[in-house]
């Protein structure tokens, strides 16, 4: 996968994890949301999945634009994220888009296991592609499929 494609689709997996948190909670910080999917492994190490802050922030930006959550910014404390009143009306509609992972997540029985595996792959790709926070600066707010056939440059 190339960097541009990664930047377009990877935040949707983080957004899915964030939505999972907000299915059960109405408010949280990055630390609380990131801990939601985490667990303690057999070596008693705590494993987290939403580990790359630039991806988390891109996902938050998209969810805010969709009207699903609000970001409460503070001068000194970390941002607080709050589920919007429309969250449960908007969330099911994300399953209709075949280009987003929400559809796959909605049909599989082992939801958490599937999402954790996907997030491991996202995080590995983030590292392998040497993604930097600045890579997200020029990204569109909307995810869209990359056209297979592109016009020839003039």
CATH number of the domain that 62 lies in? 1.10.10
Does residue 139 fall inside a structural domain?
no
The residue segments making up the domain with residue 107 are 3-128
As a whole number of angstroms, the distance between CA 61 and CA 68 comes to 10
Within a domain: 74: yes
Report the candidate in 97, 106, 95 with the shortest Cα–Cα distance to residue 144: 97
Question: pLDDT tens across 40-71, in order?
Answer: 677 767 788 999 999 999 999 999 999 999 99
The winner for highest mean pLDDT among 71-75, 96-100, 109-113, 148-152 is 71-75
Answer whether residue 92 is part of any domain: yes
76 in a structural domain: yes
Q: What percent of the chain shows pLDDT beyond 70?
A: 88
Query: Would you say residue 108 lies in a domain?
Result: yes
Tell me the whole-structure pTM to 2 decimals.
0.85
| DSSP collapsed to 3 states, 10-76 | HHHHHHHHHHHHHHHCCEEEHHHHHHHCCEECCCCCEECCCCCHHHHHHHHHHHHHCCCEEEECCCC
Does residue 90 belong to any structural domain of this protein? yes
Question: Quick check: is 61 in a domain?
Answer: yes
Q: What pLDDT, on a 0 to 100 scale, did the predictor assign at position 145?
A: 46
The reported pLDDT for the residue numbered 116 is 92
Residue that is written with structure tokens 């909670």 in the block? 25
Residue 34: CB atoms within 10 Å: 20
Q: What domain count does the chain have?
A: 1
- Tell me, yes or no, whether 75 lies in a domain: yes
Whole-number average pLDDT of the chain: 88
pLDDT the model gives residue 66:
95
pLDDT at 36: 87
């Amino acid at each position: 996968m190339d960097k541009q494609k990664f930047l377009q689709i990877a935040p949707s997996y983080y957004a899915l994890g964030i939505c999972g948190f907000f299915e059960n909670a109405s408010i949280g910080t990055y630390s609380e949301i990131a801990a939601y999917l985490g667990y303690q492994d057999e070596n008693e190490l705590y494993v987290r999945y939403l580990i790359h802050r630039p991806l988390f922030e891109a996902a938050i930006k998209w969810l805010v634009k969709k009207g699903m959550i609000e970001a409460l910014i503070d001068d000194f404390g970390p941002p607080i994220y709050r589920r919007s009143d429309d969250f449960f009306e908007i969330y099911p509609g994300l399953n209709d888009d075949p280009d987003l992972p929400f559809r796959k997540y909605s049909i599989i029985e082992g939801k958490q296991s599937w999402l954790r595996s996907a997030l491991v792959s996202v995080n590995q790709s983030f590292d392998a592609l040497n993604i930097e926070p600045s890579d997200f600066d020029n990204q569109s707010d909307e995810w869209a499929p990359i056209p297979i056939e592109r016009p020839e440059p003039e």
